[in-house]
Chain A
Amino acid sequence: MTETFRLDGTDVPFEAGETILQAALKAGRFIPHLCHHPEFRPHGSCKLCTVKVDGRQAASCTRLATSGMKVESETEELNAERLALTQMLFVEGNHFCPSCEKSGDCQLQATAYHLGMTNAHYDHFFPNRPLDASHPDFLLDFNRCILCSLCVRASRDIDNKNVFGLAGRGMASHLIVNSKSGKLVDTDFSVSDKAAHVCPVGVILRKRQGFFIPIGSRTFDKKTIKEYVDTRLGEED
């Protein structure tokens, strides 16, 4: 007999070892998230998927589902906290959507729309993060990094290259390139790497592509972040 837990009042089935988020997404129940990706082990860093499990907050991407647990997700309180977290992500980096080539294809932007974000609310940090344009085919724009570590995990666990890493602690955490010079050109990063295609924002960019895709044809012109996640789940490779 399939085990279930209650998510916002309805039963969600799960298999042993599945997290709340995995089970919820499989059942077509969307919980906002950024650092989770179905192909990688959970990271639990963005905290956007925070839910209440039997009244206590937990990251649904790391918390294993157990039978009979009562999970709250779509509540005013939790969505307000998700919105605040998203706003903090925007002000910690330099996210200038109007001139960003990832606009319309960016999961951070789409999530912000989903949460009804209309302004940044907090003071911008305006950090100084120079670009790494050293690689002939790829550009790294660290201004947009949200420290989701998807590129780190992809390069380490799938590409077996370990091109990226997170360095520093707390507010000083930042994405680095694991080469002697610290530049991407001095790594064996290539277009066929999984890490080249996993960035949910606009950090790892294929050079000279820019605005090839017209407005109206971009990912989130055609679907919401929820629909995108559903599709991605169906296309798991």
Chain B
Amino acid sequence: MNLELETASHPENLKRVAIDPVSRVEGHGKVTLLLDENNRVHQVRLHIVEFRGFEKFIQGRPFWEVPVMVQRLCGICPVSHHIAASKAMDMIVGAVKLTKTAEMNRRLMHYGQILQSHALHFFHLCSPDLLFGFDSDVARRNIVGVAQAYPDIARKGVLLRKYGQEIIRMTAGKKVHGTGSIPGGVNKSLSADERKSLLQEIYQMVSWCIEAVDIVKRLFEQNAQFYSQFGRFDSRSLSMVRADGAMDLYHGGLRARDTLGEKIFDHFDYRHYWEVISEDVKSWSYMKFPFLQSLGPEAGWYRVGPLSRVTNCDFIPTPLADRERREFLAFDDGRASGATLGYHWARMIEMLHAAETIKDLLHEDDIEGGELMAEGGERAGRGVGVIEAPRGTLIHHYRVNEDDLVIRANLIVSTTHNNQAMNEAIRQVALQYLDGNEITEGLLNHIEVAIRAFDPCLSCATHALGQMPLEVVVQDFAGNPVSIASRSPEGVFSSR
């Protein structure tokens, strides 16, 4: 652990390097490093400096509006917020059990979202680092570069994402920010024509997902030591699992494991998540630091997302993905399954699982059914909805008054769960690659590569076709610039 790198014991006379912005998470993120005169690293922090107002400004709004409104938190995975809020509101309206058709269409929407988001994350945002090298020519290190050098990979990535987006359009009404999921059910089911058109392509998608898993697997095989050790740290993990221990990204109980893989709790009813998870605050970041209550704020942090889910579950309930999961766990005596870059491998396994699940759902006749809404039951004042979003566990928690208005909301999003874990990853990378070295764009990109392994929201801008300008100023203690490294909007790196 590198908690000592969270706050330098003697910050005086250290120079400050800021990667600002790293990119955006509903706003801005930045990384600051404090280095001494020999470029030794003394402090590393990932700051999320955006302010989120959603929990406040949905107060006073009617509860049925919430699933549509809160999805505006994100343009990459709005479906996750849409469905998590809907699940919470199912509790409010007393819809204990959805109709078969409603749950299947929600699941289809969600797995379509997993497919498109994972494809976007891997092919568009991260594959340039992995295929060209972390410190390769920055002008080429983007999706356009991938399209030129590896046109087949880029094309399949784009088409996989497109397929997932089409599923979202058919189930939610729009590719981004639709309205399909509503308290107590859904407002439409898949039509016969939509089902037929999706079925025509699904086998191709499954086959491309297998190829995607192979790309990451080959990268690990070619450079096992580097891939296993890059930004590696031990962590607890949290995810949702089905009652039988299977991976389930839509519904289940919470399972947490310690750094040795032993269960801390299992099948915990998420409707009382606050009994096992608390949130800490730190003065230097707007983002909270969740922790497992039984271990306390210092030792109780954990990671969520594909790596946690694939290692946390007992099995994946689709055969091809489960075979890949077993290979992943066994690789290099289990070293890949604890690696920061193992996120990518796990992510592609999940993408394969999503494609297989979509295929299975499309073969169920009930997906075209007519019963869209569950019978309303006893009204509740509190609703909690949890879902496994592309980047990890997502918690929505609301209180609704007798007049149907929201009076309190708490959202713990994937990026927040991973806050401390991402800080740990970049501290490891800073120690491994920056410590004692002169700062270059390529070395700074190592830090961003670690962040991208967790969260595409933090990486989208820096890889947006090389359009994101980035300037890193090294200052002395008095605040005078010592050197400036910058990346132009055209992606050209320079230093002076």
Given contacts A133-B405, A134-B403, A139-B404, contact A210 B178 (CB under 8 A): no
Contacts of B383 in A (CB 8 A): none
Q: Are A98 and B72 within 8 A (Cβ)?
A: yes
Contacts of A215 in B (CB 8 A): 172-174, 178-179
B41-72 CB contacts (< 8 Å) to partner A:
60-62, 64-65, 67-69, 72
Q: Are A101 and B65 within 8 A (Cβ)?
A: yes
Contacts of B173 in A (CB 8 A): 214-216
Contacts of A180 in B (CB 8 A): none
| Complex partner residue of A211 from B93, B179, B403, B404, CB under 8 angstroms | B179
- B1 to nearest A CB, angstroms? 42
Q: Tell me whether A169 is interfacial, beta carbon within 8 Å.
A: no
Contacts of B188 in A (CB 8 A): 214, 217
Q: Are A211 and B64 within 8 A (Cβ)?
A: yes
Q: Tell me whether B157 is interfacial, beta carbon within 8 Å.
A: no
Q: What sequence of 0s and 1s flags, for each residue 194-215 of chain A, a beta carbon within 8 Å of any chain B beta carbon?
A: 0000000000010111111111
Given contacts A207-B404, A211-B187, contact A133 B62 (CB under 8 A): yes
Q: Tell me whether B182 is interfacial, beta carbon within 8 Å.
A: yes
Q: Tell me whether B253 is interfacial, beta carbon within 8 Å.
A: no
- Alpha-carbon distance A139/B404, docked complex (angstroms): 9
Q: Which residue of B lies closest to A213 (CB)?
A: B187
- A134 to nearest B CB, angstroms? 6
- B86 to nearest A CB, angstroms? 10
Given contacts A98-B72, A99-B69, A99-B72, contact A214 B180 (CB under 8 A): yes
Q: Are B182 and A210 within 8 A (Cβ)?
A: yes
Q: Are B64 and A130 within 8 A (Cβ)?
A: no
Q: What sequence of 0s and 1s flags, for each residue 120-156 of chain A, a beta carbon within 8 Å of any chain B beta carbon?
A: 0000000000110110000100000000000000000
Q: What sequence of 0s and 1s flags, for each residue 313-346 of chain B, a beta carbon within 8 Å of any chain A beta carbon?
A: 0000000000000000000000000000000000
Q: Are A212 and B187 within 8 A (Cβ)?
A: yes
B164-212 CB contacts (< 8 Å) to partner A:
172-174, 177-180, 182-183, 187-188
Q: Which residue of B lies closest to A212 (CB)?
A: B187
Q: Are A211 and B68 within 8 A (Cβ)?
A: yes
| Complex partner residue of A139 from B62, B68, B174, CB under 8 angstroms | B62
Contacts of A101 in B (CB 8 A): 64-65, 68
Given contacts A133-B403, A214-B187, contact A208 B178 (CB under 8 A): no
Chain B interface mostly: loop
- Alpha-carbon distance A212/B186, docked complex (angstroms): 8
Q: What sequence of 0s and 1s flags, for each residue 69-96 of chain A, a beta carbon within 8 Å of any chain B beta carbon?
A: 0000000000000000000000000000
Contacts of A98 in B (CB 8 A): 68-69, 72, 177
Q: What sequence of 0s and 1s flags, for each residue 365-378 of chain B, a beta carbon within 8 Å of any chain A beta carbon?
A: 00000000000000
- Alpha-carbon distance A99/B68, docked complex (angstroms): 6
Q: Which residue of B lies closest to A185 (CB)?
A: B403
- B197 to nearest A CB, angstroms? 16
| Complex partner residue of B93 from A131, A133, A208, CB under 8 angstroms | A208
Contacts of A210 in B (CB 8 A): 62, 64-65, 68, 182-183
- Alpha-carbon distance A215/B187, docked complex (angstroms): 9
Q: Are A131 and B60 within 8 A (Cβ)?
A: yes
Contacts of B403 in A (CB 8 A): 133-134
- A1 to nearest B CB, angstroms? 52
- Alpha-carbon distance A205/B178, docked complex (angstroms): 20
Q: Are A207 and B62 within 8 A (Cβ)?
A: yes
| Complex partner residue of B65 from A99, A130, A213, CB under 8 angstroms | A99
- B306 to nearest A CB, angstroms? 30
Contacts of B62 in A (CB 8 A): 131, 133, 139, 205, 207, 210
- Alpha-carbon distance A211/B68, docked complex (angstroms): 8
Given contacts A99-B72, A131-B60, A214-B179, contact A208 B404 (CB under 8 A): yes
- A38 to nearest B CB, angstroms? 30
Q: Which residue of A lies closest to B169 (CB)?
A: A215
Q: Which residue of A lies closest to B181 (CB)?
A: A211
- Alpha-carbon distance A130/B62, docked complex (angstroms): 12
- A229 to nearest B CB, angstroms? 25
Contacts of A211 in B (CB 8 A): 64, 67-68, 179, 182, 187
- Alpha-carbon distance A139/B405, docked complex (angstroms): 10
- Alpha-carbon distance A207/B61, docked complex (angstroms): 12
- Alpha-carbon distance A53/B194, docked complex (angstroms): 52
- Alpha-carbon distance A209/B72, docked complex (angstroms): 21
- Alpha-carbon distance A47/B188, docked complex (angstroms): 39
Q: Which residue of A lies closest to B71 (CB)?
A: A99
Q: Which of A133, A205, A210 has the most CB of B within 10 A?
A: A210
A181-237 CB contacts (< 8 Å) to partner B:
205, 207-217
| Complex partner residue of B404 from A133, A213, A214, CB under 8 angstroms | A133
- A144 to nearest B CB, angstroms? 12
Q: Which residue of A lies closest to B184 (CB)?
A: A208
Q: Which of B64, B93, B177, B178 has the most CB of A within 10 A?
A: B64
Q: Which residue of A lies closest to B173 (CB)?
A: A215
- A204 to nearest B CB, angstroms? 13
- Alpha-carbon distance A131/B403, docked complex (angstroms): 10
Q: Are A212 and B182 within 8 A (Cβ)?
A: yes
Contacts of A99 in B (CB 8 A): 65, 68-69, 72
Contacts of B174 in A (CB 8 A): 215
- Alpha-carbon distance A113/B472, docked complex (angstroms): 45
Contacts of B178 in A (CB 8 A): 215
Contacts of B182 in A (CB 8 A): 210-212
Contacts of A139 in B (CB 8 A): 62, 404
For the complex with contacts A134-B403, A139-B62, A213-B187, 4 further pairs of A-B residues with Cβ separation under 8 Å are: A99-B69, A205-B62, A209-B64, A214-B180
Residues of A at the B interface (CB closer than 8 Å) are 98-99, 101, 130-131, 133-134, 139, 205, 207-217
**10 closest A-B pairs by CB:** A215-B173, A210-B64, A99-B69, A133-B403, A214-B188, A211-B179, A214-B187, A133-B405, A99-B68, A211-B182
| Listed A/B pairs (24) with beta-carbon separation below 8 Å | A98-B72, A99-B68, A99-B69, A101-B64, A101-B68, A130-B60, A131-B60, A131-B405, A133-B62, A133-B405, A205-B62, A207-B62, A208-B64, A208-B183, A211-B67, A211-B179, A211-B182, A212-B182, A212-B187, A214-B179, A214-B180, A214-B187, A215-B172, A215-B179
